[in-house]
Structure 1
Amino acid sequence: MQLEIRPDPAEVGRARRWARSRLAGSGIGADEPLAETLILLVSELVTNAVVHTGCPAVLRLSLPGAAQDAATVRLEVADRSGRAPVPRCVDGDSTGGRGLALVDGLADRWGWCSEGGGKRIWCELDRDSDAQGATAAYGSGSSAYEGLAYEAV
């Protein structure tokens, strides 16, 4: 499933509504913590693509079928900007700059890769996850940038 995203901040709300509408047939209840986390991750990744690239993007969502009890949900946002996500330090009063830090803290795995002239940022949530913390795969290596916020540009 995918949704074309225009470089317009209003698209973030449309992306959240689209993702919520896709949950119905997946066996994930709209009030489950997994669904709430997924919608927050959609919001953060689409916001980064819209605000920081100025390019159209594509939101892709892979949800488990209703018959599956344990499965992984995968979210991807591909854009036409070839610039890599870079760590940003923000102070406690800043109202932005924490999007990928949230992704790092909430997703079981996340990362990014170059794709053509652009990039794809992805994250995964394990439906049966009871891990204490998330593992981040940043680029082609593993790293946890604790204490830093990220900006996808």
Structure 2
Amino acid sequence: MQLEVRPDPAEVGRARRWALSRLLGSGIGADEPLAETLVLLVSELVTNAVVHTGCPAVLRLSLSGGAAEPATLRLEVADSSDRAPVPRCVDGESTGGRGLALVDGLADRWGWNKEGAGKRIWCELDHCTQPAKSAAAYGGGASAYEGLAFEAV
């Protein structure tokens, strides 16, 4: 499943709604931690793509796995910029710049690959019966990423 995203910050909300509707269509409830975390990850990765490249992006979502193993939700955002994600230091007063630090904290795995003239940033969430990390768990307290953030351009 994929969604083409125009280079407009207003597209981030549309991308979140699209991803959540696909997740709900797979039988995973909106109140599950996986859904909450997915929405935050889509926000961060799509925002990075549309704000920093000024070019269209493609959001892809896939759910794999079977009865013998937990399902894995994979989120990918491809854009036309070949610049790698780079660490960025921000102070406590900054209102942005923490996107990939959140991705690192919330996703079970993430990375990026060059793809043609651009790149693809991906992350994966494992869906299992045990409680997983959720976006709410990162709402307060000190973090290993305090003062350090990442920017994908």
TM-score w.r.t. the length of structure 2 is 0.85
Written as runs of structure 1 = structure 2, the 5 A alignment for 1:1-153 is 1-64=1-64, 70-128=70-128, 146-147=145-146, 148-153=148-153
- Matches of 2:8 and 2:122, distance apart in 1: 21
- Structure 1 regions of 5+ residues with no counterpart? 134-144
Relative to structure 1, the CA distance from residue 129 to residue 76 in structure 2 (aligned partners, 3 Å threshold; closer, same or farther) is farther
Q: Any idea what SS the aligned residue of 1:18 has?
A: helix
User: What is the CA-CA distance between 1:101 and the residue it aligns to?
Assistant: 0.3
TM-score w.r.t. the length of structure 1 is 0.85
Corresponding residue number in structure 1 for 2:140: none
User: What is the CA-CA distance between 1:130 and the residue it aligns to?
Assistant: 5.3
- Matches of 1:20 and 1:12, distance apart in 2: 12
- Matches of 2:77 and 2:45, distance apart in 1: 7
User: What is the CA-CA distance between 1:25 and the residue it aligns to?
Assistant: 2.2
Q: Any idea what SS the aligned residue of 2:50 has?
A: helix
- Matches of 1:8 and 1:44, distance apart in 2: 14
- Structure 2 regions of 5+ residues with no counterpart? 134-143
- Matches of 1:126 and 1:48, distance apart in 2: 23
- Matches of 2:129 and 2:53, distance apart in 1: 32
Letter in 2 for 1:17: R
Letter in 1 for 2:56: P
- Matches of 1:87 and 1:75, distance apart in 2: 21
Q: Any idea what SS the aligned residue of 2:61 has?
A: strand
| Residue correspondences, number | 142
* CA deviation map 1:107-140 (0-9, x unaligned): 000000100000000000000285988xxxxxxx
Superposition RMSD in Å: 2.3
Relative to structure 1, the CA distance from residue 32 to residue 68 in structure 2 (aligned partners, 3 Å threshold; closer, same or farther) is farther
Contact in 2 for aligned 1:97/1:149 (Cα 8 Å)? yes
Moved over 4 A (4+): 64-69, 129-133
* CA deviation map 1:69-119 (0-9, x unaligned): 721000000000011111001110100000000000000000001000000
